[in-house]
Homo-oligomer: A and B are copies of this chain.
Amino acid sequence: MLEFKITKKDEETSARLGELKITHGVVDTPIFMPVGTLATVKSLTPEDLCEMGIKIILSNTYHLYLRPGEDLVEKAGGLHSFMNWKHGVLTDSGGFQVFSLSELRQITDDGVYFNSHIDGSRHFFTPEKVMDIEQKLGADIAMCFDECPPYPCTYKEVLKAVERTSAWAKRCKESHTRTDQALFGIVQGGVFEELRRKSAKEIKEVEFPGYAVGGLSVGEPKEDMYAMLQVMDESLPTEKPRYLMGVGAPEDLVEGVKRGIDMFDCVLPTRLARHGTAYTHKGKITVRNAKYKDDFTPIDEECGCYVCKNYTRAYIRHLIKAEEILAPRLLSYHNVYFLAKLMENIRTAILQGEFSGFYNNFFENYQY
């Protein structure tokens, strides 16, 4: 179950406003999805996310398969029920994680053998196995199992990954049966324009209700990522939702929207928070730095979030230094709110036909 309607198109760029209807509600796009790897957006409750207007989160199939296991989540009534989240959930396919996190992986045309990063135990993911896991997890949107090559990589290696990703996409679609869950295809191709076009063509031929751009933001220069997004903008169907996987730096969200991306996800806001870093409209600040010791101003004076309304940099720095749990909680709240608000402002700008002005204004202020 998925419907996507583009409600407004920007005249100067590929930015567009959309409404994504999924089993658990309607999501206004472009949207940023916070990551709840293990069925929890680290340190935050569902109520915290609701306060920020978050309507969809991402959870990780690889991690949930290992802990607590898809069978337990299914027994709990699926991810929504397990974690008490009433809005949308998207699960990735584990494709990225088996290549980046696990050890001793061995790729065959049938699937991927890998060792758990937790206890070293041996596992085998095939497209069919991943579909089974994702259907048990029960997200609104599931992702196809793909091969995500590292960066840098040779043309030949990426070609092989593109071919496997296409073959696996067909097998995923064939074994996916849940009608309350939409299955998205993933385009690979590294930073090779030709392979990106080939992958897009092949994945489009399988036909999915939405398409994701995978294998970017894996170490390549930003210009290469933006160039590939340009290629994707030209290659993917206009009327379907487009999801840029694993990308969430503020500047990349703005650049992605400009190139026609509707959905994003990233662990950055919560990961940075756990390392004492916060977003501001001028760029990131490292709150643990000594210069904030007696700075009694909020993290970002232009931010209207709960944290900025109630706490000072000096207090949060003290919490960080003392290794208090409240530090990552407050900074996670602020950082996720910051990205949610950024996307809201982007949507408003598109609606008002002012996206280019917004774009210029953003980059005049934001240093990265």
Contact = CB atoms under 8 A, between A and B. Distances in A.
Interface in A75-133: 75-76, 82-84
Interface stretch (A14-22, A227-235, A259-267, A311-319): A311-319
A40 B324 CA distance: 8
Contact of A67 (B72, B311, B321): B321
Contacts of A296: 75-76
A328 interface: yes
Instruction: Tell which of A43, A68, A326 has the most Cβ of chain B within 10 Å.
Output: A326
Given A68-B321, A325-B329, 8 more contacts: A42-B325, A43-B326, A72-B293, A72-B314, A75-B294, A76-B314, A82-B315, A84-B311
A275 to B, nearest CB: 13
Contact of A45 (B38, B68, B75, B326): B326
Interface in A299-358: 310-312, 314-315, 318-319, 321-322, 324-326, 328-330
Contacts of A319: 38, 40
A247 interface: no
Interface residues of A, number: 34
B40 A326 contact: yes
Given A67-B321, A310-B84, A328-B325, A315 B43 contact: no
Interface in A38-77: 38-40, 42-46, 67-68, 72, 75-76
10 contacts: A40-B324, A40-B326, A45-B329, A67-B322, A68-B293, A72-B293, A72-B294, A72-B314, A82-B315, A84-B315
* Copy total for this chain: 2
Nearest to A72: B294
Interface of A: 38-40, 42-46, 67-68, 72, 75-76, 82-84, 293-294, 296, 310-312, 314-315, 318-319, 321-322, 324-326, 328-330
A198 to B, nearest CB: 39
B83 A315 contact: yes
B38 A322 contact: yes
B75 A42 contact: no
A42 B314 contact: no
Contacts of A315: 39, 76, 82-84
Contacts of A40: 319, 324, 326
A310 B312 CA distance: 31
A165 to B, nearest CB: 29
B325 A43 contact: yes
B76 A312 contact: yes
Contacts of A312: 76, 82
Given A72-B293, A72-B314, A315-B84, A326 B42 contact: yes
B67 A318 contact: yes
A46 B45 CA distance: 16
